[in-house]
A and B are shown apart, each in its own frame.
Chain A
Amino acid sequence: EPEVTQTPSHQVTQMGQEVILRCVPISNHLYFYWYRQILGQKVEFLVSFYNNEISEKSEIFDDQFSVERPDGSNFTLKIRSTKLEDSAMYFCASRREYSGNTIYFGEGSWLTVV
């Protein structure tokens, strides 16, 4: 069964450093998402992306965050200047064409900011 794959599985970074989290969505999917989950809390929506542009973003997704689909296969989340409170599990997700289709999630990238 096709999977959403994410790298790295775990990254430790210094506060203020830039981090890029990478995702390879399922190949025929057109809608892409990033979510995050702070330890012990709910899974929170960050951003959705379609047709090479952001379609929706949450209040969490401020100017420190950006997303990109640089080469038609990878989907990246960049955090420009990490803060301690960015420590969380970040999930990439994707789905096929029409609304209502199942959203498939990756295994997550655990980010620790020290």
Chain B
Amino acid sequence: DAKTTQPNSMESNEEEPVHLPCNHSTISGTDYIHWYRQLPSQGPEYVIHGLTSNVNNRMASLAIAEDRKSSTLILHRATLRDAAVYYCILRDVWRDDKIIFGKGTRLHILP
């Protein structure tokens, strides 16, 4: 898997938007950008993924830079339940079966 770089931790206030950045300067043309999160004492959970265009789902939005070398996961209105470790992961859909997790970003939500 290609390498991603994320901040170790971030803080945000409850009910405010959160922008979680990820750098992936060595991304290849067939790498999808995946985001997973791990709530305390739980297994990793899929959040969203995309290739080139921005993506929205019920959990979050994914903004992908035009050169695809960075992306941002956007939580539109953070709740206390969104406190988790967020992982940005590149997966080549033709080669990568498994997911390799990095350290991710630990997101703290302040009430």
A-side residues, CB < 8 A to B, are 4, 31, 33, 35, 42-45, 48, 50, 55-56, 91, 93, 98-100, 102-108
What is the minimal beta-carbon distance from A60 to any residue of chain B, in angstroms? 13
Closest B residue to A99 using CB positions = B93
Contact yes or no, A43 B46, CB < 8 A? no
Interface SS of A by simple majority: strand
Q: A103-B46, A105-B43, A105-B45 are in contact. Are A43 and B38 (CB under 8 A)?
A: yes
Give chain B residues whose Cβ lies under 8 Å from the Cβ of A107: 42-43
B contacts, CB < 8 Å to A: 32, 38, 41-46, 49, 91, 93-103
B interface SS class: loop
Closest to B44 in A: A105
Q: Determine how close the nearest CB of chain A comes to the CB of B34; give it in whole angstroms.
A: 8
Q: Given the complex, which residues of A lie within 8 Å of B49, measured CB to CB?
A: 102
CB-contact partner of A106 in B43, B100, B101, under 8 A:
B43
Q: What CA separation (Å) do A42 and B44 show in the bound complex?
A: 11
Interface centre among A50, A56, A102, A104 (most CB of B within 10 A): A102
- Give Cα distance in the complex from A44 to B91, angstroms: 16
